[in-house]
Amino acid sequence: MATSAISQSASQSAGTGARGGLRAWFLRSENARGYALMGPTLVIMFIALAAPLILLLLYSFWTQEGYTVNTTLTFDRYFDIFVNDTSENRLFWTLFQRSVSISGVVTLVTVLLAYPIAYYVAFHVKKYKFLWLILLTIPFWTSYLLRVFAWKIILGYQGVINSGLQSLGIIDAPLEFLLYNPTSIVITLAHAWAAFAILPIYVSLEKIDRTLLEAAADLGDGPWRRFWRITFPLSMPGVISAAVLIFVPTTGDYVTPELVGGTQGKMLANLIQIQFGKSNDWPLGAALALSGLAFVGLIVVFTVAAFRAAVSRVR
């Protein structure tokens, strides 16, 4: 008994020195405790996200020489893309313009189609809200590849529409313009990304305090004015995040142009993939990817700012 009491008091007095101090510091520092808890997650994200992106940046300043990479830093890749009269230069701008315009149209169409649905579910559906939300959410989680492939089946030369119209005797020969062009990409993407637009817009609409609309009605606004002056501006965060969530990933989409785009529908991602496949020029692929990402980022920043400014004029 006596010895254990002594050793206990000894360890306690030692504890108040270094160990107790460290323990006390850990207890009182929420930063330390928070980051200790978050540490594993951040480490994984660093390994699988940050480090690869840093390496991607490095690669874009290197040069492919046969099967090896010359790691002398150089801006040549970017010069090839932006300045020199090379095939990369022409291809990059053609595909970049096509990617951005296809994604722009997709974003616009998707958001315009999704807004009324989100509005309907947020404001008019009362009893079966949950059912509607589930119905609108399911496609969001199902296989992207299969959803895109479904359109190939529908629009194809021997596809649903052509064979259907033919068997009904409406047309004699398959319609060739259905598949393998930018329009087929737009239709496919607008379908594939629908849920991404509906959910954020729905959330922002649902959050609107209904008494604001009552106040507007009380102050003499009719339904359309109420929508334009209250609902629409307050739903902007949802519209903007929907647009960004669709625009950025679709500019980099690979599957859709590959499956339904044809030769006239190739996009930036297909060119990047080629650098990692057939052409085997990783530095060029890295530079193309980063250039595309940077320009898309700039476009997003400016468009969102312009859009916000326009909406803030609504009084």
Between residue 200 and residue 229, which ones bind another protein under the rule CB under 8 A?
209-211, 213-214, 217, 223
Scanning 82-90, 104-112, 113-121, 304-312 for contacts with another protein by CB under 8 A, the matching segment is: 113-121
254 is a site residue for another protein (CB under 8 A):
yes
Nearer to another protein, 107 or 162 (CB): 162
Nearer to another protein, 39 or 90 (CB): 39
274 is a site residue for another protein (CB under 8 A):
no
Q: Which of residues 80-109 bind another protein (CB under 8 A)?
A: none
Interface with another protein (CB under 8 A), residue from 6, 20, 73, 84:
20
Selection from 240, 234, 215 nearest residue 122 by Cα: 234
The type of residue at 174 is P
Q: Which two tokens stand for residue 242?
A: 């929907």
134 is a site residue for another protein (CB under 8 A):
yes
Nearer to another protein, 38 or 83 (CB): 38
Interface with another protein (CB under 8 A), residue from 111, 186, 189, 259:
259
d(CA 235, CA 210): 13
Q: Which two tokens stand for residue 197?
A: 């637009």
Orientation angle between helical segments 268-276 and 87-119, nearest 10 degrees: 130
d(CA 227, CA 264): 41
d(CA 203, CA 236): 11
Interface with another protein (CB under 8 A), residue from 91, 108, 234, 248:
248
Strand partners, 64: 69
Q: Which of residues 148-177 bind another protein (CB under 8 A)?
A: 149-151, 153-154, 156, 158-160, 162-164, 166-167
Minimum distance, C-beta of residue 21 to another protein, in the bound complex (Å): 8
231 is a site residue for another protein (CB under 8 A):
no
Site string for another protein, 24-63 (x = CB under 8 A): x--xx-xx-xxx-xxxxxx-xx-xxxxxxx-xx--x----
272 is a site residue for another protein (CB under 8 A):
yes
d(CA 175, CA 171): 8
Scanning 1-9, 228-236, 280-288, 304-312 for contacts with another protein by CB under 8 A, the matching segment is: 280-288
Q: What is the DSSP letter of 178?
A: G
Scanning 2-10, 75-83, 85-93, 136-144 for contacts with another protein by CB under 8 A, the matching segment is: 136-144
278 is a site residue for another protein (CB under 8 A):
no
Reduced 3-state DSSP string for 226-254: HHHHHHHHHCHHHHHHHHHHHHHHHHCCC
| Residues contacting residue 66 through CB under 8 Å, at least 6 positions apart | none
Cβ atoms 100, 247 nearer than 8 A: no
Q: What is the DSSP letter of 156?
A: S
299 is a site residue for another protein (CB under 8 A):
no
67 is a site residue for another protein (CB under 8 A):
no
| Residues contacting residue 2 through CB under 8 Å, at least 6 positions apart | none
Minimum distance, C-beta of residue 4 to another protein, in the bound complex (Å): 19
